[in-house]
Amino acid sequence: MTNSVSEVNVALLGLGVVGTGVAKVLIQDSNYLQSVYGKPFILKHILVNDLNKQRDSFIPQDIITNSLEDVLNDDNINTVIEVIGGTGTAYTAVKSALQNGTSVVTANKELIAKFGPELRTIAQSSGAQLLYEASTAAAIPVISSLRTQLSGNKIKSIRGIINGTSNYIVSQMASSNAKFQDALREAQDLGYAESDPANDIEGTDALYKICILATLAFGVDIKPEDVYKEGITQLEPQDFSMAAELGYAIKHLGICEVSDDQLMIRVHPSLIPTSEMLSKVDQVYNAIEIDGNLSGKIVLHGQGAGQDATTSAIIGDLLSIKANNESTASRSTNGPALKDIKSLITKYYIRISVTNEPGVLAKISTILGELNISIASVIQKDGTQSTEVAELIITTYRASEEDLQNALKQIKMLPVVRTINTILRIED
C-alpha cells in the first residue's frame, strides 16, 4: 500500500513527551526522511485530549484534533503512530486502524504484551503491518534484529536489563551502598523514576517487555499474568557487597530460555558473573543478550527510554514499512510449551539471619541436603562471640526451584532462624 502512493500520510495519536518528539522529527527533518525513504511523510492528524493546551510552536494547530473517529475515518491515512499508552483508547484505535488495513507503529508495551496475538492476527488478515520496536528498549534495535537479521537462528535464550529505573537503583545500591528507598528517591529526584514507581520497581514493565521478546523469538503467545515476576524492592545493601565478594553483580533481568523444547520465562533480580557483559551495564542503560544457535551471544546496549531514543525507534519502524508484509520474517506459531518457575534448575544465593550459636549451619545444611541441594559456599558475617545475631550467605550448586522453596519453608521454621532475607538466582 505504502509504495503505491507518492507520499505516506501519517496520523499521530498522542502528543505527550514521545509524541512531541515524533512530531518534531516528522516536521523538521522531513527532507532528510524523504531522502532516506524515497517519498515524503506527511503528518495529517495529531490526536490530543485537550484541544486548548499550549503546544510547542512547531506543532501546526490545524492538524490537531480530539476526535479519534475523524482520524480513523480518513481513508488517506497510510500509517498510524500510537503513543497514547495503556489499553483503553490505544487498544480501540490500533485495532480499528489494523482492521482498516492501515499499518500501525506503536511504542505501547502493555498493549503489545497483552493484546499482541489478537492484533497480529487482525493485521495479517487485513494486510496491514504492526511494528513496535519502541515498545522494548527504545532505540536499541532488538525487535528488528529478531525479526530480520537473527531470524535464521534458533534462539536459545534472551536475557535483558530492560528497565532503566530498576537498573539505576541497583547500580546506585552497588556503587554507593545506598538503601533501596534512598536510591529510589534519588532516581525520582533525577526524573528516572515516576512518583508512583510500582510498574518499574515491581517488575511489571520488564515483564511486558520480556513477553514481547519471547513471543518474537519463540513464536508463542504468552499471557503476562502467567509469567513469574519479582521486583527489586526486597534487595538490601549487604546483598550487593556480598555479591561483589562472590564475583557477581546483581541485575534485574527479564529472561526467556528454551531447554528440552520447553520455554521458561521469568523476571527477577539475578546474580551475574562480573566477567559477563550484562554485569557491566550500569545507570539507566538497558542491554539485551540474545543467544542464537548460529550467532552466539549478541549483546545490544543503549538508552532504553527517553524522548529522542523512543522517537528513533518509531521513525525506524516508519522507514521499515514495506509495500507488503508477505516476506516479513515471522516464526511459526508452533513454539515450545511454557514451563513453570518450579521446574527451574539453577544456582541460588540465600542470605539468612540466624541466632549466633553452635550447630546452626548443621541444621540448615541438613535440610538442604535432604532436598538434594548441595552447598557451594558459606560466608558468615557479623558473627563474633559478642553479637547475638549472625548472617549466613549460602550459595548452592544447581538445584530445582521446587526443592529450594520446600527447603526454605523448613528452614524458616527452625527456631535458630530469625529471617530469610534474600533469595537470588545465579545466572552463570
Binding site for its own copies (CB under 8 A): 2-3, 25, 29, 32-33, 35-38, 133, 138-141, 144-145, 148-154, 277, 280, 292-303, 306, 308-309, 311-313, 315-324, 326-327, 329-332
Residue number, 26 or 235, with CB nearest to its own copies: 26
Give the DSSP letter string of 200-236.
Answer: HHTTHHHHHHHHHHHHHHH-----GGGSEE--STT--
| Among candidate residues 386, 395, 399, the one with its CA nearest the CA of residue 352 | 395
SS3 388: coil
User: Residue 99 CB, nearest distance to its own copies (Å)?
Assistant: 23
User: Residue 155 CB, nearest distance to its own copies (Å)?
Assistant: 11
52: exposed, middle or buried (C-beta count within 10 Å: 0-12, 13-18, 19+)? exposed
User: Residue 389 CB, nearest distance to its own copies (Å)?
Assistant: 38
User: Residue 338 CB, nearest distance to its own copies (Å)?
Assistant: 20
**How far is residue 207 from each of residues 4, 162, 203, 424, measured CA to CA in Å?**
39, 9, 6, 17
The residues pairing with 258 across neighbouring beta strands, listed in sequence order, are 263
Residue number, 67 or 283, with CB nearest to its own copies: 283
User: Residue 151 CB, nearest distance to its own copies (Å)?
Assistant: 5
Residue number, 237 or 306, with CB nearest to its own copies: 306
What is the rounded distance in angstroms from the CA atom of residue 262 to the CA atom of residue 251? 25
User: Residue 282 CB, nearest distance to its own copies (Å)?
Assistant: 9
Residue number, 169 or 314, with CB nearest to its own copies: 314
Quote the crossing angle between the two packed helices 180-189 and 164-176, to the nearest 10°.
120
| Among candidate residues 301, 270, 295, the one with its CA nearest the CA of residue 283 | 301
Q: Decide: 346 and 401 in contact? Cβ < 8 Å.
A: yes
Cell readout for 41 is: 511523510
Question: Where are the strands (E) in 325-381, listed by range?
Answer: 337-339, 345-355, 375-381
End-to-end CA distance of the chain: 47
User: Which residues contact residue 254 at a Cβ distance below 8 angstroms, ignoring those fewer than 6 apart?
Assistant: 158, 159, 160, 162, 206, 207, 209, 210, 213, 265, 266, 267
User: Residue 292 CB, nearest distance to its own copies (Å)?
Assistant: 6
User: Residue 319 CB, nearest distance to its own copies (Å)?
Assistant: 5
Residue number, 225 or 260, with CB nearest to its own copies: 260
Catalytic residue among 24, 114, 156, 209: 209
Any alpha helices (H) in 8-133, and if so which ranges? Answer: 17-28, 30-37, 68-72, 89-99, 109-126
| Among candidate residues 97, 107, 50, the one with its CA nearest the CA of residue 69 | 97
- Helices and strands of the chain, counted as H and E runs: 14, 18
Cell readout for 249 is: 553483580
Quote the crossing angle between the two packed helices 109-126 and 204-218, to the nearest 10°.
30
The answer to whether 209 is a known catalytic residue is yes
Residue number, 65 or 153, with CB nearest to its own copies: 153
Positions annotated as catalytic residues are 209
